[in-house]
């Protein structure tokens, strides 16, 4: 994939990327990824630059929203003292050329160049991937076991459980009663994890969000409305 970086006043660096799939010039702005532009193969970078420059005001208008989102994210460094359920984040600056992360014995060890700032976005992305893999390990150990316990307590039946890095929802239940859960559940307290699991277990009985569904969920969770409201304080994509 061919790429080119340009600078636009009021915006900063913008990355142009040639794409076989792109039919039109597409501009995306994402937290910590900046402004990226997908360019059709048949279109020159020069032509794409002209289009991006015409969209300068639109980009500038949307940047503050992205910046506000970025402020909600944790910056992982030596002062963060971050822990998952079973893993602690350990920083190890050394005379090395690139970052290396090893996860073992309840430690996520981050070795990185001692002359670099670990808060740099390129390092933060790598650290986040390592943390998410730790959550995946924890989720595979915890969620199936807890779902089995809750299903036995309340008399639910389901087929399989899948753990994925889903960023759009906490869980789902298929028409074949397969349960899907995001590994990001490991960020939640136990009682909210139970609520999400129970929510999906209730879908093995009611495939919609009608009155009967909510009545059942309220019965098995004790306070469906209150727990649902509390879940709104959590965002999958932001941590």
Map out the domains of the chain as residue ranges. 3-72, 141-231
**Extended strands (E) in 107-170:** 107-113, 161-164
On the 0-12 / 13-18 / 19+ scale of CB atoms within 10 A, 184 is: buried
- Per CATH, the number for 141-231 is 3.30.2010.10
Would the pLDDT of 186 be above 80?
yes
Dist CA 144 CA 235 (whole Å): 22
Worst-scoring range by mean pLDDT, 3-17, 125-139, 147-161, 217-231?
A: 3-17
pLDDT at 72 over 90: no
Q: On the CB side of 163, how many CA atoms lie within 13 Å of its CA? A: 19
β-sheet with 107-113: strand ranges across: 88-94, 107-113, 100-104
Per-residue confidence (pLDDT) for residue 32, from 0 to 100: 79
- pLDDT for 29 equals 93
Classify residue 118 by its DSSP letter.
T
| pLDDT tier at 1, thresholds 50, 70, 90 | low
pLDDT at 146: 99
Q: Beta partners for 109?
A: 90, 102
């Amino acid at each position: 994939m061919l790429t080119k970086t340009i600078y636009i006043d009021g915006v900063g660096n913008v990355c142009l990327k040639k794409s076989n799939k792109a039919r039109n010039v597409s501009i995306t702005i994402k937290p910590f990824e900046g402004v990226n532009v997908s360019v059709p193969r048949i279109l020159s970078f020069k032509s794409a630059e002209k289009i991006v420059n015409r969209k300068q005001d639109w980009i500038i208008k949307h940047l503050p929203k992205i910046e506000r989102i970025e402020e909600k994210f944790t910056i992982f460094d030596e002062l963060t003292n971050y822990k998952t359920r079973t893993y602690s984040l350990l920083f190890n600056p050394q005379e090395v050329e690139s970052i290396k992360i090893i996860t073992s014995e309840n430690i996520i060890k981050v070795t990185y160049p001692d002359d670099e700032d670990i808060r740099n976005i390129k390092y933060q992305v790598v650290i986040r991937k390592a943390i998410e893999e730790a959550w995946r390990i924890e989720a595979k150990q915890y969620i199936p076991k807890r779902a089995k316990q809750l299903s036995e307590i309340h008399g639910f039946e389901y087929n399989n459980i899948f753990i994925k890095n889903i960023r759009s929802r906490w869980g789902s239940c298929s028409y074949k009663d397969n349960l899907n859960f995001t590994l990001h559940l490991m960020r939640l307290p136990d009682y909210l994890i139970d609520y999400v699991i129970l929510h999906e277990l209730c879908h093995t009985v009611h495939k919609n969000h009608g009155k009967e569904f909510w009545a059942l969920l309220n019965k098995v969770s004790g306070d469906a409305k209150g727990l649902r409201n509390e879940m709104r304080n959590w965002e999958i994509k932001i941590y």
